[in-house]
Chains A and B, each alone.
Chain A
Amino acid sequence: MSSQVETVISELRREFGEHLDETRVTHKNEIYYDVASLDWLPNVCSFVHHQWQASFVCAWASDERSRDGAFHLHYVFSLDQFGLFVIVCSPVSVEDSEFPSVAAHMIAANWAEREIRDTFGLTPVGHPHLKRLWAHPDWPSDNYTMRKDFPLNSQPPRVEGDFEFHRVEGEGVFEIPVGPVHAGIIEPGHFRFSVAGEPIISLQVQLGYTHKGTEKLCEGLSVEHALHVSERISGDSSFAHSMAFCHGAERLAHVEVPERAQYLRMLCLELERIYNHLSDIGMIANDIAFLVGYSHAMRVREQVMTLNEKLMGSRLLRAMNSLGGVRRDIPDAAFSSILSTLATVRRELRDLAELLFTSASVLDRLETTGVLAQKIARDVGIVGLAARASGIDRDFRRDHPHLQYHRVSFKVPLYKSGDVNARTRVRVDEVFESIQIIEQVLSQIRPGPIRVPLEKIPTYAQALGYAEGWRGPIVHAIQTDAAGKISRYKIDDPSFHNWPALIFAVQGNIVPDFPLINKSFNLSYSGNDR
């Protein structure tokens, strides 16, 4: 046990003493605390979050009634400075079906608790805004999909009901409903604006349209099978999500992935970051009618997609990840083509950045648009590139070293202004950093095996798996059953944390800037809804 782990455990023992039941440390960096009484759950979580400045990662429930007659809650926090995860746990009895809300003290857990309410029927008492999350109004109220006695294939009837939106009233105030089918080639969701003239007074976001029952679907599956599902949680993060899943399964099985495979995974993660960032830079240019910028960005992005297809057989880097490593080796002979493509990307992006950031009309649209203040970003629990554009210095690649990231040097770009400009610049800077990372990967990588078998998945075990995707940290929690199959699979996409940011960032901006602000976050609907 490392001294940091000991420090964390003894600190919490001193603070809460008899209110903590048991402490377990698994996989070197997961510290589990069982809260002795459910009433103390918010206090312990609040302490970890506020006193230790540990960021909220995710929260989920599991139905373990068949084992011990209770549901179990898990709140995960990240102690970035120690590279540790603290998981505060507590059972909830079937009779009570309620628990004191943590979100009441820590708004970052707002959506997570609403999801627990929707899918398990456990009520967070004192929650500030207990509106349904993905369950639409036509979903019958007593059907909780994540309970074990709800069959995957059941077809509950549609019931009567309307979405609840709060109303802004006053002279000249109008509502603009948008979606779920949007004007662009994007995913479905509903936005409800209240406006007075052009400025937006409030935005409400209704998601859940792409809910596919992904977590439920994986229950009872083998990890081999679920891997393919994980690649399809959010298409633009196919590799990062499958990486987080594999990481979790490998930790469960106590398998160390061969070094060469770790480097190849880094290559893929960075290629995924590059192609998405280029695409977003292009789409941001598109949304301000700077079509030249769009065309150049997309042209360069296509070179990366073509490289992906050539190296991995899939433009979206699917079918590359494997449990225990990767499925394809990249021959050393192909390195030169990777390096030359990346040299082109670097050169082209420099040109493009110059075109963009020296144009007064571009800056006029990007600067001071869609500001997300750092205080709000911290309170709401914003993660990933959106957080870094608001001055929050977090990156799982550095804070929770995985793969071989500790052996490459890279900067974590940070901007303070929190506007569309900052989010665009974070992307530009990160592409340059990713190219540098790949160059180091290709110089450090050595011949060796690319895959080891996962002999046996332990029964009744649990592990976290994670990766820093291009959007932000992706965390998966996997629990196994008596047969070593998946009994609970919690998927946490950065979008789940960042959608609320949009609500704050658009306030006071004009409606025509909404698409631009939305694109500057570019959040996943499917990753959010699952």
Chain B
Amino acid sequence: MLKILRKTLQTGRVTIPYPSKPDEPPDGFLGKPVIDFAKADLEKLRVAESVCPTRAISIETDGAKSTVRLSYASCIFCGRCAEAYPEAIAMTTEFELATTRKERLLVSADYVDGKPAQVIALPSQPSLEQLGEQTKREIFRIFRRSLHIREVDAGSCNGCELEIAALNNPIYDLERFGLHFVASPRHADMLLVTGPVTRNMEIALKKTYEATPDPKLVVAVGACACSGGIFGESYASKGGVDKVIPVDVYIPGCPPRPQAILHGILLAIGRVK
């Protein structure tokens, strides 16, 4: 017992201050890829399209006009596109990509005769500080002192589970926000769903959703949950959570780092009206 106490005192507090202070991922972290459409050459973008393992980059050509799309819902953050065309595509360290609206996960640009014509930018999101404040208020208003989360693996590779489970550890300490993982959907206010929804998990996911009392939130975690990811749609995979149940927030990443998941959960609560 004394040994335990001594070790605890020696260790001190280890929890990171995120999100009250921003978290800077290290240089070289594989975050959000950005295409400089104004600079990019259409033909070279086609090379990036061909190496993209999930077709997150896609180009549709109709006569002289081509539309280049980059979907953060499908992106697995492998960096192959930036490797193929480093002059116009860069992997940034940005990781707070969660959104309540899926269309925000798509950027596109039109090219006419191979020249950039129009870029559709992403709308900006509320800052985290505002979010944190808003979160506290909303949790209190709707769910009183706490929000209970049920995690559902709908066929993920277990990568997202590792990062979600990490939120429980003393570094991220999810419970300091009044957020709490529970063992049953009956006790839950929020479902945190991962995986592309396999055929063999589809019915279980629907039943879990129905078993969760209203009001409830659904958060799709990771590329598979957001879009089917690398597994796409097949006899075994439904191609994303929103093909099966309604989704309130999408958290891109493969897997998203724990801070990104935390960001998405906070965003989800801010949305409850």
Contact = CB atoms under 8 A, between A and B. Distances in A.
Which one of A186, A210, A217, A279 has the highest number of Cβ atoms from chain B below 10 Å of its Cβ?
A210
Interface string A183-212: 111111000000000000000000011111
Interface string A230-242: 0011111010000
Interface string B134-170: 0000000000000000011111111111111110111
Interface residues of A, number: 65
A90 interface: no
B162 A213 contact: no
A279 B181 CA distance: 18
Contact of B235 (A154, A299, A351, A525): A154
A314 interface: yes
Nearest to B195: A210
Interface in A314-335: 314-316, 318-319, 327-328
Contact of B155 (A184, A188, A298): A188
Given A228-B76, A316-B159, A212 B208 contact: no
Given A185-B164, A318-B254, A299 B171 contact: yes
Top 6 nearest A-B pairs by Cβ distance? A235-B159, A213-B236, A183-B183, A298-B169, A235-B158, A228-B53
Contact of A236 (B25, B153, B154, B158): B158
B156 A181 contact: no
A183 B153 CA distance: 11
A302 B29 contact: no
A224 interface: yes
Given A186-B153, A319-B80, 6 more contacts: A181-B153, A185-B181, A187-B156, A210-B200, A229-B53, A355-B7
A298 to B, nearest CB: 4
Contacts of A233: 157
Interface in B182-234: 183-185, 195-196, 198-201, 204, 208, 229-234
A296 B11 contact: yes
A319 B30 contact: yes
Contact of A310 (B26, B79, B204): B26
B169 A299 contact: yes
A188 B166 contact: no
A282 B28 CA distance: 29
B171 A211 contact: no
A296 B7 contact: yes
A186 B237 CA distance: 19
Indicate the size class of the contact surface on chain B.
35 or more
A314 B30 contact: yes
A434 B53 CA distance: 32
B72 interface: no
A488 interface: no
A296 B8 CA distance: 9
Contacts of B201: 180, 188, 209-210
Contacts, number: 181
Contact of B77 (A183, A185, A319): A319
B14 to A, nearest CB: 5
A314 B26 CA distance: 10
Contacts of B78: 228, 318-319
A210 B155 contact: yes
A214 interface: yes
B231 A181 contact: no
A526 interface: yes
B81 to A, nearest CB: 12
Nearest to A315: B257
Contact of B200 (A209, A232, A309): A209
Nearest to A208: B200
A295 B170 contact: yes
16 contacts: A156-B235, A187-B153, A187-B161, A208-B200, A210-B153, A210-B201, A211-B155, A212-B198, A228-B78, A228-B230, A234-B158, A292-B8, A299-B11, A299-B14, A309-B25, A318-B78
B120 interface: no
Most chain-B CB neighbours within 10 Å: which of A183, A228, A354? A228
B255 interface: yes
B271 to A, nearest CB: 23
B218 to A, nearest CB: 14
A131 interface: no
A453 to B, nearest CB: 13
B236 A302 contact: no
Given A208-B200, A225-B53, A229-B53, A315 B231 contact: no
B257 A235 contact: no
A136 interface: yes
Interface of B: 3-4, 7-8, 11, 14, 25-26, 28-30, 51, 53-54, 76-80, 83, 91, 151-166, 168-171, 181, 183-185, 195-196, 198-201, 204, 208, 229-237, 254-255, 257
B79 A319 contact: yes
A155 interface: yes
B204 A209 contact: yes
Contacts of B204: 180-181, 188, 209
B236 A212 contact: yes
Nearest to B237: A212
A365 to B, nearest CB: 16
Nearest to B76: A228
A273 B97 CA distance: 30
B184 A183 contact: yes
Contact of A298 (B76, B83, B164, B171): B171
Contact of A212 (B155, B161, B168): B155
A524 interface: yes
Contacts of B234: 152-153, 212-213, 216-217
A145 interface: yes
Contacts of B184: 183
A449 interface: no
A310 B28 contact: yes
Given A155-B235, A299-B169, A319-B30, A235 B53 contact: no
A136 B155 CA distance: 14
Contact of B160 (A214, A235, A310, A524): A235
Interface in A252-310: 279, 282, 292, 295-296, 298-299, 301-302, 305, 309-310
A209 B159 contact: no
A302 B231 contact: no
